[in-house]
């Protein structure tokens, strides 16, 4: 499912392929995504803020897509409506982004809302971590519509 | 100065060139930037949220760079530390981003702080507008350090 999604992103959202986005692993706790530093570099030789925000945005979106698949609901209408990002430290190597899977309770509330109203929003949080230090904190609100 | 900055961005931040970022005009009120839809497209045929956020982030950064040049202060150490973005409507054509120039008073406070502390932060706001409707609202906090 992870590989299917990676192929889909690369095909349908060309910037994700160009920036070298990879969906590295996915389990019950989190989704790990990455991108190389070289193509995403800035004038200071560290990762470009635009790329850092893009990887968090698409990782949160990917989490919603994966959850939708697991819930057996249509995953064709997922959009971000808001995000908030803090850049705490520069990222000096390849970018590694950890996106937390919402709790079972949050997912069950999401499913209930979608069943009732054909639409629901969910908060997804991500962190970009380097050498055990949080460099970027991201919070995004996504809407899933049937 | 605008053209010098566009060349600098394309050279030092390769993603800005790949996404087709243009610095179209700059005056006392605002900076207009743009990017074509095709390379920045998503699975729905509208502009990718990551690209929308990237153009706002780099436009805010560009505004700080332009102000630094005007103030005759070093423009080599400008970083974003936080941003907040709302996606109100999908962007269906080429992306046009309007970044408001801070008021004279805000710029004079910035200059005073930099003179005193060698560092200051400033809030920059941008809007992505299509057919007279605001599609994306962005607020970024940038730090300029000497």
Nearest CA to A42 among A53, A34, A33? A53
Chain B hits for A19, Cβ within 8 Å: 15
Q: Does B42 touch chain A (CB under 8 A)?
A: yes
Name the average pLDDT for chain B. Answer: 97
pLDDT average, residue stretch A121-136: 98
Which tokens belong to A115? 């069943």
Domain with A65, as residue range(s), is: 2-145
Which residues lie below 8 Å from residue B70, measured CB to CB, with a gap of 6+? Answer: none
Total structural domains within chain A: 1
Name which of B76, B119, B139 is nearest A86 in CA terms. B139
pLDDT at B136: 98
Q: What CATH number did the domain enclosing A125 receive? A: 3.10.129.10
**Residue B65, number of CB atoms within 10 A of its CB:** 23
Determine the pLDDT at residue B40: 98
Global pTM?
0.97
3-state secondary structure of B106: helix
Mean pLDDT of B7-16: 98
pLDDT computed for residue A53 by the predictor: 98
Tell me how far apart the alpha carbons of residues B83 and B139 are, in angstroms, rounded to a whole number: 6
Share of chain A above pLDDT 90, in %: 97
Whether residues B12 and A42 touch (CB distance < 8 A) is answered with: yes
A14 and B39: CB-CB below 8 Å? Answer: yes
Q: Rounded mean pLDDT of B97-124?
A: 96
ipTM of the complex model: 0.96
pLDDT of A76 over the 90 cut = no
A102 and B CB contact within 8 Å: no
Interface of A with B in 9-28 (CB under 8 A): 9, 12-16, 18-19
* Residue B3 burial (CB count, 10 A): 9
**Helices and strands in chain A, H and E counts:** 4, 6
Are the CB atoms for A78 and A143 separated by under 8 Å?
yes
């Amino acid at each position: 499912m992870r590989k299917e999604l990676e192929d889909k992103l690369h095909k349908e959202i060309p910037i994700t392929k160009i920036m070298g986005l990879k969906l590295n692993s996915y389990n019950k706790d989190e989704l790990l995504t990455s991108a190389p530093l070289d193509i995403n570099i800035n004038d200071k030789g560290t990762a470009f803020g635009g790329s850092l925000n893009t990887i968090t945005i698409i990782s949160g979106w990917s989490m919603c897509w994966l959850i939708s698949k697991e819930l057996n609901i249509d995953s064709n209408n997922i959009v971000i409506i808001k995000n908030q990002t803090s850049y705490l430290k520069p990222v000096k190597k390849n970018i590694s982004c950890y996106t937390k899977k919402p709790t079972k309770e949050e997912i069950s509330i999401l499913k209930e809302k979608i069943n009732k109203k054909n639409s629901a929003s969910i908060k997804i949080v991500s962190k970009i971590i380097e050498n055990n230090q949080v460099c970027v904190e991201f919070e995004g609100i996504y809407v899933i519509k049937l």
